[in-house]
Each structure stands twice: as structure tokens, then as C-alpha cells.
Chains A and B, each alone.
Chain A
Amino acid sequence: MTGNWVLARRRALAAVPVLLILVLATFLLLELASGDAVDAYLVTSGGGDATLVAQLRQHYGLDQSVLARLWIYLAALAHLDLGWSVAFDRPVSALITERLPNTLLLMGSALALSFGLGSLLGVVAGARPGSLTDRLLSVGSLALYAVPGFWLGLVLVLFFTVDLRWLPGSGIETIASGKTGLARAADIARHLVLPVAALGFIYLALFLRVMRSAMAEVWQLDFVTFAQAKGLSRARIVWRHVARNALLPLVTMLGLQAAAMLGGSVVIESVFAIPGFGRLASEAVAGRDGPLLAGIILVSAVMVIAINLAIDLLYAWLDPRIGARQAG
């Protein structure tokens, strides 16, 4: 257990310079952009005179130099304060905590679907390498992996919302439905079916392929031959011996895809009009909102780092040969 703490603390320390680089890069990027938050505000509000512009700049501290603003931002960040969004005129942390649950719900459900069903189908394909089922699943998953998520979303909307009218194709819940408790949860679940499928199916294909090829390698190992020689049933060998030992590469892949999945949900949120984290990012950029964009990038980086730490701890738990100490 102490090994886990050592690993967690070391990761947290290593994250500090990484996050610092990200803050610097965000500020640099916004310096390269044309116009600041006040310019962006004036474009949407229809303009204003020079006094108003100067007043606004002073109010939000935009009249100061980049370095001064960067310093103020970092000083606040040291107290875990993500600053004030200029575009929304609200604290960045409030905006993020408001939007993040929708994205986490979407990502989490898609991850559960793709990992669960993907590994299951991977076992089916990997149980008999080279069989017809294996070939069909391999080709099918490669084709599915080539499908852009946003387009899959549109195709699903075409079938299930436009043609069959079974499922809603936009939003996270019915507006002003007045539903509470279980009825509301069911309503949200209905809204999530299509976006989760659009985001999850592509990763399902990936997990299927990783599981299948990992199993193909385990089949070659001596202990499987031994299990066969002992006369164990095929099902027992597949599940207890081969699939179980092929799980580790799958867990690694889960960590590697965490960042990609967060990025993928940005597009899916836009297709299905879900007010999530990704939409907030688009709005931050459109509003030249430095603190908000930096906050979004920092929070997503922290999430990815945390997921990878969790994966490493899980890895050490799944494979006792790898101590948490070595996993770092």
C-alpha cells in the first residue's frame, strides 16, 4: 500500500512542471491570436467607444502586460483558484464544475460500453484464432475503427431519430420536462444512447482488436499448452487462462486512450448539442477567454494524469509481479 502512495506522490510532483508548461503555452497561444477578450466581447455586443474599451480592459486587468497577467494567474493557481472567465463573467471553476458532469457521464458510459463489449467480443474472436468468427470480427472491427465518430453520430440520428423516431438526437435531457428522480434519470439515459454509441463504438473496435491480438500471444505460452495437456475444457482455458492473462495490454490501452476519448467527446457533444466540457472549450476560444481556456486545458490534463495513475495502480493490482514502485 505504501508503494501506491509513493507512486501517487511522485506522479503529483512530476505533474507540476507539465502543468506549468501548459499554462505558458496557453498564454503564448492567446498572445498570437488577433484581439483579446474585450475585442471579442465588442464583436458580439456591437461595439463601444474608446472609454468603455479602456474601462473594460482595466476592469479585467487586460491593460497589463502578458507577464504581469501570467504572474497573477499563477499566483492564484497556487491557491487552486482558476481565475475569472471574461466571456461569461463568472468564476472559471464554477463554469467547469457545471459542464464537466455531462462530459464525464458521456465519457464514462462510452468507456464502459467499449471496454465491456469490446473485450467480450475480443475474447470471442481470440478464442479460436483464424476461425471464420475471428476473421469476420477482425475485418469488421478494423472497418468500424475507421469510422469518424461525428459521422457515425449523424448516421445513428438518421436511423433512430429521423426514420424510426425512437430516440432523441440532441440535448442531454428534455427541456423543462419537470421530471425528477428515476424518471429524470431515464430521460437522460434516453438522450445519452446515441452519443454514447457514437463515441463508444470506435473504441469498442480498438479494445476488441487489442484483446484479440493479446490473446493470440498468450495462446503460444507454455502454461496454456500445459492446461491443454491437463485436459481442461476449452471454455475454462479460454476464460481462466488465456483471456485473463491477455487483460493487461487492454488496461494499458485504456490509459492511452483516456486523452483521445476526452477529445472525441468534444466533437460528439457538438453533434448532439450536449452542454459539456468540449462545447465550453469552443466557447472559450471564440471569446478569446484566456483564463477559461487555460482552466479547461489544465483540468483535462489533470484528469488524464489522474486516469493514468489509476491505471498504473490497477495494473500493479492485476499483475502482482509488477509492484507499484516499478510502475512509475
Chain B
Amino acid sequence: MAFLRRYLRSGAGMAGLLILAAIALAALAAPWLAPRDPLAIAGPALLPPFSDAGLPLGTDRLGRDVLAGLIHGARASLAVGLAAMAAALLIGSVVGTVAGFAGGLVDEALMRITDAFQVVPRFLLALAFVSTLGPSIGTVVLAIALGAWTEPARLVRAQVLSLRERDFVAAARVIGMHPAEIAFREILPNALTPALAIAALIVAAAVLIEAALSFLGLGDPNIVTWGTMIAEGRNLLRTAPSLSLLPGLALVVTVLGIYLVSEGIGEALDRRGRAAP
């Protein structure tokens, strides 16, 4: 509760929360705000923005509703961002807990694997993964998570190393709890805070990587994403710049909202104001 109170007092955190709430609301209400299929033709092609009340942001090269695309694109961005963050935290906390708690050879092996994933550029990894396994929302989420779990793993491991010598762990051993149960029920919940603190930054990075993947044509072809919209607008940069500018702006505002939330979380977690990078 103290955390929540401190968060609400942070200006950046509140601004970010408002931005994200608006975008999340649009994403959730997409079936009502834009009930038609955003990939279906809605009007004449290349209708400029603000010229038709029914199609406020105009249409693209094929006559598809740009506003509907933006609203449905928010769904894809937020869903991929949140799912990739959850997957990264899950993999990271399991690897970090096992490495820190088991120690020895297991720790050494897991940390070398972590190193291996950390020295390859995340985007190169995601690119290789998605293009070999085929673009679908599942592979995109997994590809992004594969590059993002290393940092939470290191943070959780460091916490576990300091926690495993504490008295409550010794007490759990004494009453005969199974080591796996001690690791995951006693230690992990206490080791999660630093990893949760960077959760927002993982979401932001995931949104940006998803956009870049779909920009390169590696997004799920059956859903509208902002990256695909930018890529399609790119060929019409001269005649209809708004087609690539609008989805890009939507991306910037979303990512900025996430950064502001992350800053708010940072301020609420420690008062000395550890700034988000």
C-alpha cells in the first residue's frame, strides 16, 4: 500500500498511467470502437485524413480504415509486450532461482547459457528465431522472450544467493521441506522485486522489437500491427506520409507511456529516484 501511495505521488508515473490506460481502453474496446475487420476494405483507397467523418483518419492503399488499424494495432502491441514480459520473467525467475539455489556446476552451466544469450544481439536472435519457425504471434512472443529473460535471471539469482542463507530458509530445511519447495515457495517470492522493477522496461523493449519485426515483414500476417502499417505506408512516403507517420506516433506514445510508468515504479521503490535509463 505504501508503494501504491508513493507511486500515485509520482508525476511521471501518473502521466504514464493515464497514457497507458487510454491506450489499453482503446485496445480492449476495439470490437466496439471499430467493429469491422481492420483488414477489410472500408472505403475508397488513399482517402486523406479528416476528409470523411466515417473514416476520420482516412484509408490506406487498399482502402482500409486507418483508425481501425491503429485501434486494433494497440491490441497486438500490448498483448505481445505483456506476454513477452510474462514469459521472460517466468524463464528468468526459474533459471535464476535454480542457478542461485543449486549452486556449483548447475549454476555454472546455467550462467554460461545466460552469457550466451546475452552476447547475441536480441534483435538478431528474434530475427533468426521468427524467420526459421515462421511468423505467428506465438513465435514472435517467444522470440522476444528468448532475448529478454537473461536480465531477470541475473537479478533473481543475485537475490537468491543472498536469501538462501537466511534464517527462514534454514527453518524451512529443519521442518523437512523439499528443496524445490523451499526454492520456489519460500525464496522466489522474496527474490522477485528487482526483476519486477524492470518489468515495464521489458514490455517497452518487447513492443519496439515486435514493431521492428513486423516492419521487416516478420509479424503475424493475420493481424494488424503498427509495424506492418508503417512498412506498408513506406512505399507511399511521398504521396501519403500520414500512413507511416500515424502508426509510428502511436508506437512512440505507447512506449513513452511505459517508460513513464517505469519511472514511477522506480520512484516508488526507492525514494532516491533511481531513474529509468
Residues of A within 8 A of B (CB): 14, 17-19, 21-22, 25-26, 29-30, 32-34, 142-143, 145-151, 154-155, 157-158, 162, 206, 209-210, 212-213, 253, 259-260, 262-264, 266-267, 270, 278, 281-282, 285-286, 288, 293, 296-297, 300-301, 304-305
Contact = CB atoms under 8 A, between A and B. Distances in A.
A288 B134 CA distance: 12
B143 to A, nearest CB: 11
Q: In the complex, which of the residues B208, B211, B241, B253 has the most CB atoms of chain A within 10 Å of its own CB atom?
A: B208
A30 B132 contact: yes
B40 interface: no
A157 B118 CA distance: 32
B4 interface: no
A146 B256 contact: yes
Contacts of B124: 262-263, 266, 278, 281, 296-297, 300
10 contacts: A18-B112, A22-B119, A33-B132, A142-B260, A142-B263, A148-B208, A151-B252, A158-B237, A162-B238, A301-B119
Given A18-B112, A146-B255, A282 B131 contact: yes
A150 B122 contact: no
B133 A32 contact: yes
Contacts of A262: 121, 124
A148 B251 contact: yes
B234 A260 contact: no
A210 B277 contact: yes
Contacts of B259: 142, 145-146
Contacts, number: 139
Given A32-B133, A155-B248, A285-B132, A25 B116 contact: yes
B230 A285 contact: no
Given A154-B230, A262-B124, A263-B124, A304 B119 contact: yes
Contact of B241 (A17, A158, A305): A158
B175 interface: no
Nearest to B131: A285
Contacts of B204: 146
B17 to A, nearest CB: 15
B116 A18 contact: yes
A142 B252 CA distance: 10
B212 interface: yes
A146 B15 CA distance: 15
A263 B112 contact: no
B115 interface: yes
A143 B256 CA distance: 6
